[in-house]
Structure 1
Amino acid sequence: MSQLHLDHRKGLLITGIGGLVLSADIPLLRLGQGETWSTLLLRSSTTFICALIIWAVWNLVTGKRRKVLPGKIGYLVAALYGLASIAFMTAVYNTKTANLVFILAFNTVFSALLSWVFLKERPKAITFIAMFLMLIGVGIIVYEGLSAGHVFGDLMGLLSTFILASAITVTRASGKDMSFAAMMGTAVPIAVAAFMVSQNGFNVAVPGWIIFNGAVVTTIAFICLATGPRFLSGPEVAMFYLLETVLTPIWVWLVFSERPTDATLLGGIIIISALIGHSLWQMVHSRRRARTTAIRHPI
């Protein structure tokens, strides 16, 4: 088995863990019962502190001083993750959970388009079909949000998705280790949230859930999802956000009895079906290509 194939499998495992863990993010934010900026400040501060602890322990154990961010490009990626976090948190408190997580699945479309424009990785015809179907699904959700008064939250969710896709694309283009970029990027929302909290006061009813979220859930998810682009293409990494799209509404439905509207379910089914179909096609195509390569170049 070639090193390239082993790296691809490693990327799939790492990114899959990140997407699975991330599905607990929104339910934990809701359980914290806090207002937007206080929750963002506590969550981001906890993640930032954990990043510094992990970095210090890493240096101590390995005996090597590792850079937290790999140069200027690392600071750019960290800033993008930080801005995405602000937009995401704003969306959490201004639209329904189901709307948000289905819109976040649009990350795949943005990643494919950005990779095409900036990395010259032209999407295949099947990807264009999947993107078109996802556009329809997101359009249904956003239209429903418009009539229900959630349009601002839905648009912030789209903005968060676009910025996140940009971070993935830049990471992929650089080829550098951005494991700490997402966590260090929390410095951006910390600064913004600290200012807002200083004006309006701190309000989180159950801070334990938010601390657990920042220390465990987002820390693990950020490390895994920021590492994924080293081994996978941008669209492939974005595909693993499908786990959050599928699982988060289930957790919220079970914990908070918040059933998605019929329009949101319809849009979500279209998005998920398009993503699953596309993922299955990619898996089959990848295996066929691997077999063909093995036949042409026997070991």
Structure 2
Amino acid sequence: MILTRISALLPDDSRDKGRLAALGGGLLISFDPVFIRLSGTGGFDTAFLFGLFTAISMFLLIRMTDERGVLGVLRDGGWPLVVSGLLILGSASTFVLSVKHTAVANTMIILSGRPVLTALASWIFLRERTSKALWLAIVGVIAGIFIVVSGSLESGNVLGDGLALITVTCLGLNGTLWRRYKSISRLAVVGLGGLFIALVMFVPAAPSDFSPATWLVMAAMGLGSAPLGRVLNAVSSRYIPAAEMATIALSSAVLAPGWVFLIFAEQPSAATLLGGTVVLGSIFSYIVMTRQRA
């Protein structure tokens, strides 16, 4: 399978595999706001195209790499696969709509709360222990969030910020679900989530009005960076605790505003830069601390 080939290129140590996959997932997902801004269409339209292309790419990969076929993989996944797909529907669609209704920095800052919700959900549902080093990293991340929020949140963004809160809640729950059910196909999870998004968003969307540029931009996102980033995040949960995966993947929360600044000249405030530095510093400090203990 394609994931087995990817795994062979990763470090031998399972925890290092998980960390590298989480970092890779965070990097790819950080480009999502760029594609969403470049789409040149409304939030429902963008979400529809994202879901459509994601479903196509993931189901094609399953067909090419899994002898069970698409239907067999979906059947074997059972209810955890369906629930995870529904959570992706919630997280991905609200993420797209949030980026359309508020500043990218606002959305990504709120998503930085993911490790807290993931750790809480894992503790509640899985009774998963959370190390002191990870809690210290979470405290650092939260401190960075407060620094950024103090300088970047603006009035009039209530809808976009509220949608981002729904996004981060769904992400936290899904990270815990992936940790509990490690055997479900990560390709199927992302593909089914994409299918759910396309079906739900088809009603308010207007595909006949899309320009060729919109189709191309969203094809690049939906067939490439977005689904692969989410698959890498899902794969990382096989090797590391859900809260650790969520903490490392937070790199996207810092990188995304950077890409938007470079491409659209949406300049982050000094507080955003300082807070982002604290977030990244906390993540990498955690990695160093855990490696020293190993």
**TM-score range normalised by the length of the shorter chain:** 0.7 to 0.9
* Alpha-carbon distance in 2 for matches of 1:14, 1:126: 20
* Alpha-carbon distance in 2 for matches of 1:142, 1:159: 17
Shift of 1:39: 0.8
* Alpha-carbon distance in 1 for matches of 2:137, 2:24: 24
- Other-structure match for 1:236: 244
Deviations 1:61-82 (A, max 9, x none): xx44451361111111111111
- Other-structure match for 2:9: none
Structure 1 residue 222 corresponds to structure 2 residue 230: yes
Question: Does the 8 A contact of 2:14 with 2:239 survive in 1?
Answer: yes
Say which of 144, 148, 154 aligns to 2:161: 154
- Other-structure match for 2:73: 67
TM normalised by structure 1 equals 0.83
* Unmatched segments (≥5 aa) in structure 2: 1-11
* Unmatched segments (≥5 aa) in structure 1: 288-299
2:125 is matched by which residue type in structure 1? F
Deviations 1:9-57 (A, max 9, x none): 3323333322222222211221121110111111110111112211211
- What are the residue-to-residue correspondences of 1:183-198 with 2, within 5 Å? 183-197=191-205
Shift of 1:98: 1.7
- Other-structure match for 1:76: 83
1:6 is matched by which residue type in structure 2? D
Structure 1 residue 101 corresponds to structure 2 residue 119: no
- What are the residue-to-residue correspondences of 1:4-23 with 2, within 5 Å? 6-23=13-30
Task: Describe the shift of the 1:275–1:109 C-alpha distance in structure 2 as closer, same or farther (beyond 3 A).
Answer: farther
Q: Secondary structure at the match of 1:121?
A: coil
- Other-structure match for 1:31: 38
- Other-structure match for 1:131: 138
* Alpha-carbon distance in 1 for matches of 2:157, 2:63: 43
Say which of 42, 58, 61 aligns to 1:51: 58
Question: Does the 8 A contact of 1:178 with 1:227 survive in 2?
Answer: no
1:122 is matched by which residue type in structure 2? R
* Alpha-carbon distance in 2 for matches of 1:131, 1:237: 12
Task: Describe the shift of the 1:45–1:268 C-alpha distance in structure 2 as closer, same or farther (beyond 3 A).
Answer: same
1:67 is matched by which residue type in structure 2? V
Count of equivalent residues: 278
Q: Which has the larger radius of gyration?
A: 1
* Alpha-carbon distance in 2 for matches of 1:159, 1:125: 27
TM normalised by structure 2 equals 0.84
Q: Report % sequence identity.
A: 25
* Alpha-carbon distance in 2 for matches of 1:242, 1:219: 17
* Alpha-carbon distance in 1 for matches of 2:177, 2:190: 13
Shift of 1:272: 3.3
Shift of 1:209: 1.0
Shift of 1:137: 3.8
Deviations 1:54-110 (A, max 9, x none): 121124xxx444513611111111111111111111111111112222322221121
Question: Does the 8 A contact of 1:7 with 1:231 survive in 2?
Answer: yes
- Other-structure match for 1:166: 173
Q: Secondary structure at the match of 1:209?
A: helix
* Alpha-carbon distance in 1 for matches of 2:77, 2:140: 37
Deviations 1:241-286 (A, max 9, x none): 222123222211111111013343344344333333333323323x
- What are the residue-to-residue correspondences of 1:106-125 with 2, within 5 Å? 106-125=113-132
